[in-house]
Structure 1
Amino acid sequence: MQALVVPNSTCHSLTELEWQERPMPTISADDVLIKPQAVGLNPVDYKVFTGPHPDWQYPHTLGLDVAGIIEAVGANVHNFRPSQRVCGHGNLGVDGCFAEYVSFPANALADIPTTVSVTTAAASLCAGLTAYQALYRKANLNAVRTVLIHAGAGGVGSMAIQLAKQAGKTVYTTVSKQKQAFVAKLHPDAQIDYRTEDVDTRLTALTNHQGVDLVVNTIGHPEADLARLAYNGQLVCVLDTPVFPAEQAITVSNLDLGGAHRSGNPAQVADLGQMAFELLALVAKGQVDPQISTVLTRDQLIAGLRQLQADQVVGKLVVTMD
């Protein structure tokens, strides 16, 4: 089968990726064999091979977000069947889904609703699940009225805005001026141009000097967000977590979506599938949308990764694999 691979441990550039003929994957008793029909592209897909990964064997197949058809199931798999449409977010430590076939742990999968296309399902995974986990697993929304979501035009940010609005929260987001038209369609309560406005001054005015109840930080350097939090506020970090004074009555959470695969905890792996199931139910009802910007063909996959690396994408890129 054909697969897009990192050929060796010295490969650190998109120009060095290769489509190669690779052996068909084998499946364990707890896995299924999937024929990908669509895959989602994410920044992690190119960031992960900037240095040699300790778990990889080379050539290593890239790709984390898959939607496709089950070809075969392992002996212990009873809740999925061949020909079923499924999707899931994978383990970056093993061979991925930028291939004609992929082995995938069954408990991390979700059935794709009949009204949801495979392209929409593939686009809803990494970014959508990160946003979903931030709001519905890490944060306690009971006392949250106001939310600051960084990088609202990105995959995670755009989904987080929709999910927070769906939960009835007042949502502020940071976004550059040229991307504000895209974000306006998601109906945040305020957009802050971080390049021309002082974020702290704007938030002070928006919250009447109280700060926001929750910040979802997707951009790193979270120390600045500590002063933006209201008393008993919460900060969820997708990248770095800050060091904060013990006297601050705040909660800081770190998010590592795919780390569930490497945790050794079956319940956490299964929650990836459960979250995908819950998120796709919202997608099927039209309550959230992954905001696909472009659907590419397989021969355009590397070009799509280049667009992500150059920060030329708003919303999600999806690649059809047929």
Structure 2
Amino acid sequence: MQALVVPDPSAQTMEQLQWQERPMPNLGPTEVLIKTQAVGLNPVDFKLVAAGNAAWQYPHTLGLDTAGIVEAVGAEVTNFRPGERVCGHANLANNGTFAEYVSLPAAVLAKIPTTVSFEAAAASLCAGLTAYQALLRKANLNAAQTVLIHAGAGGVGSMAIQLAKAAGKTVFTTVSKAKQAFVAPLHPDAQIDYHHEDVTTRIQDLTQQHGVDLIINTIGHADADLPRLAYNGQLVCVLATPDHFPSNQVVTISKLDLGGAHRSGNPAQVADLGQMTAALLALVQAGKVDPLITQVLHRDQLVTGLQQLQAGQVVGKLVVTFDAC
């Protein structure tokens, strides 16, 4: 089968990636072999090219998100069968999803609803699951009415806006002026142009000087969010947490690592990836969440798509199809 690989440890740029003929994945007793139909592209993909991973063996196949058709199932798999449409988020320590076939644990997979395309399913995974976990696993939404979501035009931010609005929350988001037209159809209650506005001042003005109940931070620099939190506020960090815990504030700080569930050794956490995927796809099917695909590329354009992501040229989601090139 053909797969997009990092050929050796010295290959750390997009230009060094190669399509190679690779062996078919091994199928373990609890795994599902999937014939790839579409994959989603994520910033973590190009970041991993530069950073690598100590667990990799080379050539290493890239990719984290896949949607496709079940080709075969392991001896202990009872909830999937050949011919079904499935999708899932892979373990970055293992060979990935940018290949004609991929083998994933059955626990992390979900069946794709009949009205959801392979492309929409693939586009919903990494960013959508991160947003879902932030809001519906890490945060206590019962205690939050106002939410600040950073980088509203990004994959995680745009999904988080939709999930928070679907939950009936008042949503503010930081977005550059050039991207505000893209975010406007998601109906945030306010967009803050962080290039030209002081975010803390604007948040205080929007909340009558109380601060927001919940912040989803996808950008780092988390210390800057502390004065934006209300009493009993919550801060969920996708990247680094604040350097200093505020002893003079009553707040909750959480760290999120979606893919860490794969490496946790905890079967319940691994299975929750599949459960969150199924719940997210149900919201996509119901029209409550849109993964906002802005471009669908063919397999031979996959590296170009990663380069576009790396250059910051993308709003919304890039998807690659694995039909014939």
TM-score normalised by L of structure 2: 0.98
Secondary structure (helix, strand or coil) at the match of 1:48 reads helix
1:298 aligns with 2:299: yes
1:37-85 CA deviation, whole Å, 9 max, x = no partner? 0000000001012123100000000000000001000001000000100
Amino acid at match of 1:152: G
Secondary structure (helix, strand or coil) at the match of 1:50 reads helix
Per-residue deviation, 1:287: 0.7
Q: Which residue in 1 is equivalent to 2:315?
A: 314
1:151-191 CA deviation, whole Å, 9 max, x = no partner? 00000000000000000000000000010000001000000
Secondary structure (helix, strand or coil) at the match of 1:168 reads coil
Secondary structure (helix, strand or coil) at the match of 1:185 reads helix
Gaps of 5+ in 2: none
Q: Which residue in 2 is equivalent to 1:275?
A: 276
Per-residue deviation, 1:34: 0.4
Per-residue deviation, 1:244: 1.3
Verify the 8 A CA contact 2:39 2:123 in the aligned structure 1.
yes
Task: Provide the rounded CA distance (Å) in 2 between the counterparts of 1:126 and 1:26.
Answer: 24
Structure 1: which 4+ aligned runs deviate by more than 6 Å?
none
Per-residue deviation, 1:248: 1.8
Q: Which residue in 2 is equivalent to 1:226?
A: 226
1:265 aligns with 2:266: yes
Secondary structure (helix, strand or coil) at the match of 1:130 reads helix
Q: Which residue in 1 is equivalent to 2:165?
A: 165
Task: Provide the rounded CA distance (Å) in 2 between the counterparts of 1:315 and 1:245.
Answer: 34
Q: Which residue in 1 is equivalent to 2:21?
A: 21
Verify the 8 A CA contact 1:226 1:244 in the aligned structure 2.
no
Amino acid at match of 2:277: A
Amino acid at match of 2:272: D
Question: How many residues in Structure 1 have an aligned counterpart in Structure 2?
Answer: 322
Task: Provide the rounded CA distance (Å) in 2 between the counterparts of 1:231 and 1:130.
Answer: 25
Secondary structure (helix, strand or coil) at the match of 2:180 reads helix
Secondary structure (helix, strand or coil) at the match of 1:132 reads helix
Task: Provide the rounded CA distance (Å) in 2 between the counterparts of 1:245 and 1:204.
Answer: 18
Task: Provide the rounded CA distance (Å) in 1 between the counterparts of 2:99 and 2:131.
Answer: 26
Verify the 8 A CA contact 1:14 1:302 in the aligned structure 2.
yes
Verify the 8 A CA contact 2:14 2:49 in the aligned structure 1.
no
Q: Which residue in 1 is equivalent to 2:66?
A: 66
1:1-29 CA deviation, whole Å, 9 max, x = no partner? 10000001111111100000101111100
Task: Provide the rounded CA distance (Å) in 2 between the counterparts of 1:102 and 1:52.
Answer: 20
Task: Provide the rounded CA distance (Å) in 1 between the counterparts of 2:31 and 2:261.
Answer: 16
Q: Which residue in 1 is equivalent to 2:245?
A: 244
Per-residue deviation, 1:246: 2.8
Q: Which residue in 2 is equivalent to 1:118?
A: 118
Verify the 8 A CA contact 1:216 1:237 in the aligned structure 2.
yes
Task: Provide the rounded CA distance (Å) in 2 between the counterparts of 1:49 and 1:38.
Answer: 20
Per-residue deviation, 1:245: 2.2
Task: Provide the rounded CA distance (Å) in 2 between the counterparts of 1:12 and 1:303.
Answer: 15
Per-residue deviation, 1:247: 3.5
